[in-house]
Amino acid sequence: MGTITRSLANNITTSGVILPAGITNSSVSAVTSFANAAGGTLTLLSTQTASNSATISFTTGLDSTYDEYQFHFINVQPVSAGNYTFQFNMSTDGGSNYNVTKTSTFIVAYHNEADTDAALTYDTGFDLAQSTSFQPISSGVGNVDESASGSMTLFNPSSTTYVKHFISQTSSLRRDAVYGYTNYVAGYGNTTSAINAVQFKMSTGNINGDIKLYGVKKS
């Protein structure tokens, strides 16, 4: 009997219940799915890596399988020097057009490294009111050792009854004045058509970084 098997056997009760001590990375590493897992479990659907790319587009994976999808941003940055805005848009035609009408709010908190300037404010320059433009989700992103990281949740994109709500939170570093930014964005795509594609890009130039798409298991 191997070490892992003995360890698991020692942590099973006489009624067949596995004790918490019996669940380790080694004991579950080969498991591909849990049929009875509780709702809220994240399932990785795809990962896209941008390397001097114009856009990052997700044209598959957004369907009725899940009611909630999460995009995770890992060290996303502009290729060109400067401070740019990371943004997104949605599509109802598989990515032929990214022009869904949106209304949103945009809140920013910032603090500089010199500890001389900090604020929490609503930014009217980045919200949208019934606009088909790309929605900013992280402002002032630099491109040397700076980047933006965070996540965005899109709710029930396949619904043909409701508008499509989204919520995003990101952290970024602004290069010129060495500011840390936290952006909170929320809004809705004002369409009852199914959203089946999402695109991300910088306000100017190309983009580097990773974006992961997760489905959130239904309860």
Q: Give all domains of the chain, ordered by start, each with its CATH number.
A: 1-32 (no CATH), 39-216 (2.60.120)
Sequence-ordered list of residues with C-beta below 8 angstroms from that of 30, at least 6 positions apart, any chain = none
- DSSP state letter for 141: E
pLDDT one-digit tens code per residue, 146-203: 899 999 999 999 999 999 999 999 999 877 678 999 999 999 999 999 999 999 999 9
pLDDT one-digit tens code per residue, 99-137: 999 999 999 999 999 999 999 999 999 999 999 999 999
**pTM of the full predicted structure?**
0.81
**CA 4, CA 22: separation in Å to the nearest integer?**
9
Helix (H, G, I), strand (E, B) or coil at 97: coil
**CA 42, CA 66: separation in Å to the nearest integer?**
10
Sequence-ordered list of residues with C-beta below 8 angstroms from that of 159, at least 6 positions apart, any chain = 192, 194
Residues belonging to the chain: 219
